[in-house]
Amino acid sequence: MAAGLRLSDVSLRFGGIRVLEDVSFEVEPGSIFGLVGPNGAGKTSLFNCISGHYRPSSGSITIDGDEVLGLAPAKLARHGLARTFQHPALQLDASVLENVMLGGHSELPGGPMSWAVRLPFTSRSERDLRARAEGLLERQNLGWAQDLPAGELSHGLHKGVELCRALIMNPSLLLLDEPAAGLSHGEVEQFIATVRRLRDDDDITVVIVEHHMGLISALTDRVVVLDHGRKLMEGSAAEAQSDPRVIEAYLGKDAADDAA
């Protein structure tokens, strides 16, 4: 079941440097939500706060009403959260299938010793995990590549493998960090269809950080625009693209004056 996400006055500082300042917004369950802004706006830092890789200096982050601020990524997975990264961190010498299965490694019972000697209950769990990974790769049209080393695949296919790795835990809230970066036009169109299917068929709430405004316009229900760590505006993608404040943040004051 799709999860809701709420941020209230989230701030992040590294020493004396302010990275985020009092960022608040709410993502409705089952929606596709965009987080946009110029380079250095704080988008990925905010994602890192939501996913437990950074601990905010102050504020609140809840998933379906449960406070999760400060939880480690492994504990956030139990709240249904999964994410991808701007640069997929795949094990290039391992097979595509093994990379996807790594996403569910924490779900296997026992510990390193029982995994090493392959006790019956761990073997059954591993077979189940393998079957789920194979199914995800088939859905992403990557079944043909499951036995290939990940290093033999293109950048665009790496993005697909990482998405499968995030989905293997059956998340209810999925964070996608610049998923269209480096993709061809055809791959972007395919990705748009994939995200719609995740929302509509799999009942997953999706939050996307992205510079590709065509993708944001095609997919999102609402967007938040960040600039210098602050929330600049919230609304539809069309409203964001025509807002003089957003145009100024991206292109400068002269462009904003022309648009007005």
pLDDT tens-place string over residues 196-227: 999 999 999 999 998 878 889 999 999 999 99
Taking the C-alpha atoms of residue 242 and residue 260, their distance in angstroms, rounded to an integer, is 9
Token pair 């404040």 is found at 245
With a cut of 60, say whether residue 113 has pLDDT above it: no
pLDDT tens-place string over residues 151-187: 999 988 999 999 999 999 899 999 999 988 888 888 8
With a cut of 90, say whether residue 137 has pLDDT above it: yes
pLDDT of residue 184: 85
Taking the C-alpha atoms of residue 110 and residue 132, their distance in angstroms, rounded to an integer, is 20
With a cut of 80, say whether residue 125 has pLDDT above it: no
Region 110-135 average pLDDT: 68
**Would you place residue 106 in the very low, low, confident or very high pLDDT band (cuts 50, 70, 90)?**
low
With a cut of 50, say whether residue 5 has pLDDT above it: yes
3-class SS letters over 63-105: ECCEECCCCCHHHHHCCCEEECCCCCCCCCCCEHHHHHHHCCH
Polymer length of the chain: 260
Region 78-107 average pLDDT: 87
pLDDT tens-place string over residues 60-73: 999 999 999 989 98
3-class SS letters over 116-129: HHCCHHHHHHHHHH
Question: CB of 35 within 8 A of CB of 233?
Answer: no
pLDDT of residue 186: 87
Show the tokens assigned to 106: 């924490």
SS3 4: coil
Region 8-28 average pLDDT: 94
pLDDT of residue 1: 79
Task: Provide the mean pLDDT of the chain.
Answer: 87
pLDDT of residue 49: 95
Q: What is the pTM of this model?
A: 0.89
Question: CB of 226 within 8 A of CB of 33?
Answer: no
Q: Give the residue range(s) of CATH 3.40.50.300 domains in the chain.
A: 1-80+171-260
3-class SS letters over 232-260: EEEECHHHHHHCHHHHHHHHCHHHHHHHC
SS3 36: strand
Maximum Cα interatomic distance, the chain, rounded to a whole number of Å: 69
Show the tokens assigned to 68: 């999760």
**Would you place residue 15 in the very low, low, confident or very high pLDDT band (cuts 50, 70, 90)?**
confident
With a cut of 70, say whether residue 42 has pLDDT above it: yes
DSSP string, 185-240: HHHHHHHHHHHHHHHHTT--EEEEE-S-HHHHHHH-SEEEEEETTEEEEEE-HHHH
CB half-sphere exposure, 31, CA atoms < 13 A: 17
Token pair 């036009």 is found at 185
Taking the C-alpha atoms of residue 162 and residue 154, their distance in angstroms, rounded to an integer, is 12
Region 19-47 average pLDDT: 94
With a cut of 90, say whether residue 260 has pLDDT above it: no
| Cβ count near 95 (within 10 Å) | 16
Taking the C-alpha atoms of residue 67 and residue 2, their distance in angstroms, rounded to an integer, is 17
Give me the CATH topology for the region 1-80+171-260: Rossmann fold (3.40.50)
pLDDT of residue 251: 64
